Amino acid sequence: MKNIFLAEDDADDRMFFEDALKKATIPTKLTLSNNGLELMSNLETLTQHPPPHVIFLDLNMPFKDGFQCLQEIRNTPKLKDIPVVILSTTANDMSVDKTYELGANYYICKPVTFQLLVKAIETVLTLEMRPQPLKEKYVLSIT
């Protein structure tokens, strides 16, 4: 059972993600956060062991956006080694560069079909998380 976190302010996307997790072949336990602030407080009270396998992070969120969360995670000793995968609607150079600079492990565009979303989650869960700093800063394509 892999512990995973998702920070996503969009209810539809949260629903898609939960459904997709159920379809995925890898068993997981999901901690949902409706925004960045909630994510950080969920991570603050974190006592479980082992630490989360991965945090899926949306960028555009109220109260605390994905960039701020990522920065805080990387600056907090007990969180800094947790892999973070950015899940955003679009991949523009500015966002991609900035998130990799802040220490993201991967960047994924939100898939446009449910099947692709399942596949994306499965791909991330089986990926070997690359050690920081990253050499290849590319947008992970799910086809």
Q: Which of 117, 118, 125, 142 binds another protein (CB under 8 A)?
A: 117
- Distance from C-alpha of 97 to C-alpha of 72, rounded to nearest angstrom: 17
- Distance from C-alpha of 72 to C-alpha of 47, rounded to nearest angstrom: 18
Return the residue matching tokens 């492990």.
Answer: 105
Residues 14-73 close enough to bind another protein by CB under 8 A: 16
Residues 65-104 close enough to bind another protein by CB under 8 A: 89-90, 92
Distances 134 to 50, 89, 100, 102 between C-alpha atoms, Å: 24, 22, 8, 11
> Total residues contacting another protein (rule CB under 8 A)?
13
Q: Which range touches another protein (CB under 8 A), out of 24-32, 38-46, 114-122, 123-131?
A: 114-122
Q: Taking a C-beta distance cutoff of 8 angstroms, is the pair 115, 86 a contact?
A: no
Q: Which of 48, 75, 76, 115 binds another protein (CB under 8 A)?
A: 115
Provide the binding-site residues for another protein, judged by CB under 8 A.
Answer: 10, 12-13, 16, 89-90, 92, 110, 112-115, 117
